Amino acid sequence: MALTLGGGPLAARPPDTVNYHIDGPAHRLLWHDFPRRIRALFGGEVVVDSDDAKLLHESNLLPQVYVPFADVAEKLLESTSHHTHCPFKGDASYCSVRVGDRVAENAVWSYPSPTSDASWLAGHLAVYWTSMDAWFDEDEEVFGHIRDPYHRVDVRPTSRLVQVVAGETTVAESRRAKVLSETGLPNRYYVPADEVRLDLLEPSATHTVCPYKGTASYRSLHRSPGGADGVITDAAWSYPNPLDDARAVAGHFCFVADGVETRVDGAAVP
């Protein structure tokens, strides 16, 4: 994914197909400005409010937001005895966030004396994303994790024949599908709902959140009407209310599961 994951240029194992050599450690850090205001809320209180946030890109990890000490509500923080060591950044000290009777334990960390290679961490704090009740990029709530500015989602219409099969059953077939390309991930093919055997699908309780596409709702697949031949759990998903970058896949289903195969012009795709 983006710079530090999935074969990106700063990943621990960058691609071989380049004409340059990175003279440096295999574990790489990149620190740069986050371009917008960011806020975090907990228990109805604003814990973070910063228009001077930074993003730390680190090999094999998602980008992490850091903000200056002055942009965190110090009155809500309680120092703890918890410490961790990172060979690339130094020794981290932790604080909990307390609002009334609610406590997010060890939710905030900083590097009081970072390593010389990461000296710019001094004077900044980071907060575990899931420890807060809500995060906002300007006034838009962001779910899952901060959006990486080097991560893209592109959706294109395709007239190629897209088929979804489960055993001998054709579950979907379309020449009006959408192909969704996402940084670091294989292409996914989304088929319009009116070209899917909806009678074989059953709503699932499963939902997942993607900060780039939105909240996905899943359906399980009956191999035949009535489910006599068994069920493939969470075989398909859709985005009923996708975010802007994935808006074109609204009303479409994507299938990825053991026992289900998607074919494009007759060839199976990963």
Contacts of 135 (CB under 8 A, 6+ apart): 38, 39, 40, 41, 129, 141, 142, 143, 146
Task: Give yes or no: residues 193 and 243 share one domain.
Answer: yes
pLDDT tens for each residue of 41-66? 999 999 999 999 999 999 888 899 99
Nearest to 151 by CA among 229, 211, 219: 211
- Domain count for the chain: 2
pLDDT confidence tier of residue 118, bands split at 50, 70 and 90: very high
Task: Give yes or no: residues 191 and 219 share one domain.
Answer: yes
Asked, for residue 59, whether it belongs to a domain, the answer is yes
Q: What mean pLDDT do residues 124-145 have?
A: 96
Element (H, E) at 203: strand 201-210
Residue 229's pLDDT is 66
Q: What mean pLDDT do residues 84-102 have?
A: 97
Task: Give yes or no: residues 159 and 256 share one domain.
Answer: yes
Task: Give yes or no: residues 180 and 137 share one domain.
Answer: no
pLDDT tens for each residue of 171-223? 999 999 999 999 889 999 999 999 999 999 999 999 999 999 999 999 999 97
Residue 92's pLDDT is 98
Asked, for residue 88, whether it belongs to a domain, the answer is yes
Q: Is the pLDDT of residue 138 over 80?
A: yes
Q: Is the pLDDT of residue 135 over 60?
A: yes
Residue 3's pLDDT is 79
Residue 117's pLDDT is 92
Residue 10's pLDDT is 76
Q: Is the pLDDT of residue 226 over 60?
A: no
Using CA atoms, how far apart are residues 239 and 252, in angstroms rounded to an integer? 8
Task: Give yes or no: residues 129 and 158 share one domain.
Answer: no
Q: Which contacts (CB < 8 Å, 24+ apart) does range 217-222 have?
A: 219/253, 221/166, 221/171, 221/255, 221/257, 221/260
Residue 250's pLDDT is 98
Provide the mean pLDDT of the chain.
Answer: 93
Asked, for residue 18, whether it belongs to a domain, the answer is no
Using CA atoms, how far apart are residues 73 and 58, in angstroms rounded to an integer? 26
Residue 224's pLDDT is 66
CATH value at residue 110: 2.170.150.40
Provide the residue range defining the domain that includes 165.
153-268
Nearest to 109 by CA among 72, 157, 61, 164: 72
Tell me how far the alpha carbon of residue 165 is from its chain's centroid: 28
- What is the model's pTM? 0.86
pLDDT confidence tier of residue 16, bands split at 50, 70 and 90: confident
pLDDT confidence tier of residue 228, bands split at 50, 70 and 90: low
User: Are the CB atoms for 112 and 122 separated by under 8 Å?
Assistant: yes
Residue 266's pLDDT is 96
